[in-house]
């Protein structure tokens, strides 16, 4: 039976207490914002808890809040996990704040195999490292690429061709 | 024959021993076991006839056997997500066409629905039916392309030609609605670009008749074919647990026996009112994927036929009060000269797929929300309110402005769950658009599927994944 989203959030808060910094259900998407030190524990709990059983990491991405109005003093990045339970048919979003000067979160590769490529993509696009990732290479761009293009301070029109004029 | 084999010294002399590269430089006898073989590293791709789409596969081979594989992608990365952040919400619509360019309508509607979720608006019932109909037609075209191409790579060129023929009929119906075959840009936040043309249903019936004939022929040609089964059965297998761990969705997961389908799990639009089955396989090999896709096409046709029967409003091709339609050019000229008297009530005859929407159709296919939907041409040219509304949605810095927040909306794309995660900051352009590409997880699992098999098995496995580089690399 799918669990109600607020019941999932209540279960997480009950288990982790203050480490769940914030929860909300904007537009029906239930979200928990989690402190970084317990992020891996929360994810593991979500996967292994018999009531939650989030067996699929549907998506993993990041958001750069550098220019987001009202977020000037918070952590610059957020790593966003979209979890789905094939067994129970419910969804959850987990967000982990990451500071600019220490952009690192624990890797979820031991929990879900797909985290390998997702984390490589986030490293590629945002420069967030995943501690414990077996092979953190760029996924979409080439190794010679300088910078991380989806960061808000990476200019839209910067070109880095491998061949031809560079700017 | 390997170096060092055979006991007869004469035979050994006639067979030149394979020398390792180190031995050539360092001299004979550097290595104690000259008969040891070395694995061969081969690049398959990025430009290879059997790699439809550009990827590179580093393959470590021991003879014909694939020991280890590594996939390199990114040759078609165009910065979709970065581009979306640069313009207003509706400007991303043409970019979404180019994600999965075999079934672009699903991407359009998925993105539009994600923004609608952020705005908290609901599309009209007719619009949702139109979205379902066109999404299912797109799913059929996608599956036809996938099966046709992978059959062709196994030598069944006839199947490819038959399936592309059927796809042409379906593309013609898509073209009649949207005005284009691939780069359709037909979705809109809050609605669709235009209503269905009057002869749409007849076109769909013809296309489906052709498609069913082709599917029947392909079943006869392939499903029990000895060569085809030898190449597909037991190849590229992935277990249910691994597939879930790799976040594989869509036909590949269903081929493993997991009946997960977004249309059923979290019904969106009007899928909960339509009757369809979810075909599942058993072992999760290439052959099961083929069967699942073949069965899904029939289910998609069932969905379209039901949706056409229940399409609310029916065809809208006459004015509700019987007034003559006027030509768009005259209409605009009158509006620009300020002769707006009566314009608001004069119905306009527009080409349904190129110019926009006339008032009677506009209300049928668009949400009644002035924050997101452009007004009809009559309202724009015939009234000052309409003109202001139009400008408010077009001007830089105005446009669609969802309140700050985030939303994830998933649709069942042809290859699996296609999700859009959009973060809004209250301005007229999205702060972050993330597309969850359905064919990235299977590509990540490709090494797992092909390691330990023969080189030739890469081709059908890669074909069954149906990698679309546009959505894989965005």
Pairing of strands A91-98, A31-34: parallel
Confidence grade of residue B419 (pLDDT, cut at 50, 70, 90): very high
pLDDT at residue number B341: 65
pLDDT of residue B328: 63
Tell me the mean pLDDT in the region B103-116: 90
Query: What is the pLDDT, as a whole number, of residue B318?
Result: 33
pLDDT at residue B365, as a whole number? 66
Instruction: Give me the pLDDT at residue B5, please.
Output: 47
3-state secondary structure of B56: strand
Position B6 pLDDT exceeds 50: no
Dump strand ranges (E) for chain A.
20-24, 31-34, 56-64, 77-84, 91-98, 104-106, 129-131
CB under 8 A, 24+ apart: contacts of A90-93? A90/A2, A90/A3, A90/A5, A90/A8, A91/A5, A91/A29, A91/A30, A91/A58, A91/B266, A91/B408, A92/A5, A92/A8, A92/A9, A92/A30, A92/A31, A92/A32, A92/A46, A92/A52, A92/A54, A93/A29, A93/A30, A93/A31, A93/A32, A93/B408
pLDDT band at B16 (very low <50, low <70, confident <90, very high): very low
Angle (CA) B211 B217 B218, round 5°:
85
Q: Which of A44-58, A114-128, B6-20, B163-177 is least confident?
A: B6-20
Instruction: Evaluate if residue B391 carries a pLDDT over 70.
Output: yes
Count the alpha carbons within 13 Å of B258 in the hemisphere toward its beta carbon: 29
Mean per-residue pLDDT over chain A, rounded:
87
Residues facing residue B44 across a β-bridge: B57
pLDDT band at B110 (very low <50, low <70, confident <90, very high): very high
Quick one: tokens of B421?
A: 């995660």
Task: Please report the DSSP string for B425-465 in residue order.
Answer: -SSSS-SEEEEE-TTHHHHHHHHHHHTTSBGGGHHHHHHHH
Which positions ≥6 away from B138 have C-beta within 8 Å? Answer: B102, B103, B104, B105, B106, B174, B414
pLDDT above 60: residue A91 = yes
The verdict on a CB contact (< 8 Å) between B74 and A26 is: no
pLDDT number for residue B330: 66
Taking a contact as any Cβ pair under 8 Å apart, which residues of chain B between 72 and 91 contact chain A?
A: 73-74, 77, 79, 81-83, 86
Whole-number Cα distances in Å, B22 to B17, B36, B38? 14, 13, 12
Mean pLDDT, rounded, for B14-33: 55
β-pairing, A77-84 vs A91-98, is antiparallel
pLDDT number for residue B324:
44
Least reliable range by pLDDT among A69-73, A107-111, A120-124: A69-73
What is the Cβ-side half-sphere exposure of residue B212, based on CA atoms within 13 angstroms?
Answer: 11
Closest CA to B20 of B6, B8, B3, B44: B3
Backbone angles phi, psi at B226, to 5 degrees: -60, -45
Mean pLDDT of B198-213: 89
With CB atoms and an 8 Å threshold, state whether A55 touches B244.
yes
Interface test with A, best of B408, B433, B467 (most A CBs within 10 A): B408
Chain A residues interacting with chain B (CB cutoff of 8 angstroms): 26-29, 31, 55-59, 61, 63-64, 68-70, 80, 82, 86, 89, 91, 93, 112-114, 116-117, 125, 138-142, 149-150, 156
CA distance A58 to A9: 18
Res B323: pLDDT? 45
The CA distance from B202 to B195, in Å, is 15
CA distance B353 to B372: 20
Condensed to tens digits (0 to 9), the pLDDT of residues B149-182 reads 889 888 888 999 999 999 999 999 998 888 888 8
pLDDT tens figures, B435-451 = 999 989 999 999 988 88
Span B71-85, mean pLDDT? 88
Mean of per-residue pLDDT scores for chain B: 81
Chain A hits for B420, Cβ within 8 Å: none
Residue B464 vs residues B83, B87, B216, B236, B450: alpha-carbon distances, Å = 30, 36, 20, 9, 12
pLDDT at B326: 54
Q: Which residue has the tokens 């249910």?
A: B240
Which of A84, A109, A137, A144 best tests the B interface by mutation, with the highest count of B CBs <10 A? Answer: A84
Q: Would you say residue B250 has pLDDT above 50?
A: yes
Q: List the structure tokens of A134.
A: 């077996």
| Cross-chain CB nearest to B74 (options A86, A116, A141) | A141
Give B445 or B335, the one with higher predicted confidence: B445
Q: How confident is the model at residue B434 (pLDDT cuts 50, 70, 90)?
A: very high
Chain B residue numbers with beta carbons less than 8 Å from the beta carbon of A26 are 405-407
- For B394-416, write each residue's pLDDT tens digit: 888 788 888 888 999 999 988 99
Q: Return the percentage of chain A with pLDDT > 70, whole number.
A: 96
Q: Count CB neighbours of B282 within 10 A.
A: 11
What distance in Å separates the CA atoms of residue B400 and residue B407, rounded to the nearest whole number? Answer: 16
Cα A134 to Cα B268: distance, rounded to the nearest angstrom: 38
| Closest C-alpha among A63, A13, B14 to residue A5 | A13
Average pLDDT over residues B205-225: 91
pLDDT value of position B407 = 92
Assigned token pair, B146: 């996938």
Name which of B77, B405, B443 is nearest A141 (Cβ-Cβ): B77
- Which SS3 state, helix, strand or coil, does residue A17 take? helix
Residue from the list A28, A86, A142 with its beta carbon closest to the beta carbon of B260: A86
B245 contacts on A by Cβ (under 8 Å):
55-56, 112-114
Interface test with B, best of A25, A54, A86 (most B CBs within 10 A): A86
**How do residues B112-149 score in pLDDT, each as one tens digit?**
999 888 888 888 788 888 899 999 999 999 999 999 98
Q: Which two structure tokens, joined as six digits, stand for B119? A: 């705005």
Kindly state the tokens that stand for B157. 């060129």
Residues A115-134, mean pLDDT to the nearest whole number:
91
DSSP one-letter code for B89: G
Q: Taking Cα atoms as reference points, which of B216, B218, B201, B211 lies closest to residue B304?
A: B201
* pLDDT score for A95: 92
- Residue B259 Cα to chain centre, angstroms: 20
Q: Using CB atoms within 10 Å of the CB of residue A35, give its burial: 0 to 12 exposed, 13 to 18 middle, 19+ buried.
A: middle
Contacts of A138 in chain B (CB under 8 A): 74
> Residue B182, SS3?
coil
Specify which residues B85 forms β-bridges with.
Answer: none
pLDDT of residue B290: 92
Burial A1-34 (b: 16+ CB within 10 A, else e): eebebeebbebbeebbeebbeebeeebebbbbeb
Q: Give me the residue from B74, B406, B436 closest to A139, CB to CB.
A: B74
């Amino acid at each position: 039976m799918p669990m109600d989203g607020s019941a999932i959030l209540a279960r997480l808060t009950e288990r982790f207490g203050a480490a769940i910094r914030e929860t909300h259900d904007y537009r029906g998407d239930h979200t928990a914002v989690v402190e970084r030190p317990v992020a891996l524990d929360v994810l593991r709990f979500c996967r292994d808890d018999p009531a939650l059983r989030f067996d699929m990491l549907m998506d993993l991405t990041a958001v750069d809040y550098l220019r987001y109005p009202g977020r000037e003093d918070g952590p610059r990045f957020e790593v966003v996990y979209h979890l789905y339970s094939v067994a129970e048919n419910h969804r959850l979003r987990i967000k982990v704040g990451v500071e600019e000067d220490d952009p690192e979160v624990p890797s979820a590769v031991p929990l879900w195999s797909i985290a390998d490529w997702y984390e490589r993509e986030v490293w590629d696009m945002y420069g967030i490292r995943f501690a414990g990732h077996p092979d953190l290479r760029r996924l979409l761009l080439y190794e010679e690429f300088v910078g991380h293009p989806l960061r808000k301070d990476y200019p839209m029109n910067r070109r880095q061709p491998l061949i031809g004029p560079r700017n | 024959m390997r170096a060092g084999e055979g006991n007869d010294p004469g035979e050994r002399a006639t067979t030149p021993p394979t020398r390792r590269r180190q031995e050539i430089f360092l001299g004979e006898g550097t290595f104690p076991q000259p008969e040891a073989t070395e694995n061969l590293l081969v690049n398959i791709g990025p430009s290879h006839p059997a790699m439809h789409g550009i990827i590179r596969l580093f393959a470590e081979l021991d003879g014909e056997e694939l020991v280890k594989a590594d996939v390199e992608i990114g040759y078609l990365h165009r910065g979709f997500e970065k581009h979306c952040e640069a313009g207003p919400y509706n400007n991303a619509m043409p970019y979404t066409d180019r994600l999965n360019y075999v079934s672009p309508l699903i991407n359009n509607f998925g993105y539009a629905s994600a923004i609608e979720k952020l705005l908290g608006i609901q599309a009209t019932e007719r619009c949702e039916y139109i979205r379902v109909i066109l999404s299912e037609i797109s799913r059929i075209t996608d599956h036809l392309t996938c099966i046709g191409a992978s059959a062709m790579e196994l030598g069944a060129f006839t199947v490819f030609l038959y399936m592309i023929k059927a796809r042409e009929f379906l593309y013609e119906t898509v073209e009649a609605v949207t005005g284009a075959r691939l780069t359709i840009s037909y979705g809109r936040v809050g609605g669709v670009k235009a209503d269905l043309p009057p002869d749409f249903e007849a076109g769909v019936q013809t296309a489906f008749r052709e498609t069913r004939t082709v599917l029947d022929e392909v079943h006869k040609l392939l499903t029990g074919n000895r060569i085809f089964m030898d190449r597909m059965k037991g190849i590229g297998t992935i277990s249910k647990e691994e597939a879930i761990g790799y976040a594989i969705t869509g036909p590949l997961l269903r081929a493993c026996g997991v009946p997960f389908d977004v249309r059923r799990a979290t019904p969106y639009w009007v899928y909960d009112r339509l009757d369809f089955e979810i075909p599942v396989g058993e072992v999760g090999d290439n052959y099961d994927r083929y069967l699942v896709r073949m069965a899904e096409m029939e289910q998609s046709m069932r969905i379209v036929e039901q949706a056409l029967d229940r399409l609310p409003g029916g065809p809208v091709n006459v004015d509700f009060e019987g007034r003559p339609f006027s030509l768009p050019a005259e209409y605009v000229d009158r509006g620009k000269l300020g002769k707006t008297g009566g314009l608001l009530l004069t119905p306009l005859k527009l080409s349904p797929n190129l110019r926009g929407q006339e008032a009677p159709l506009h209300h049928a296919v668009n949400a009644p929300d002035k924050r997101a939907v452009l007004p009809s041409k009559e309202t724009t040219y015939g009234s000052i309110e309409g003109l202001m509304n139009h400008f408010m949605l077009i001007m830089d810095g105005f446009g669609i402005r969802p309140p700050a927040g985030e939303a994830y909306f998933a649709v069942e794309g042809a290859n699996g769950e296609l999700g859009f995660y959009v973060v809004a900051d209250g301005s007229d352009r999205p702060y972050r658009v993330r597309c969850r590409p359905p064919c990235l997880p299977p590509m990540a699992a490709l090494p797992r599927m092909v390691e330990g098999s023969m080189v030739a098995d890469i081709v059908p496995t890669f074909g069954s994944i149906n990698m679309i580089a546009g959505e894989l690399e965005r």
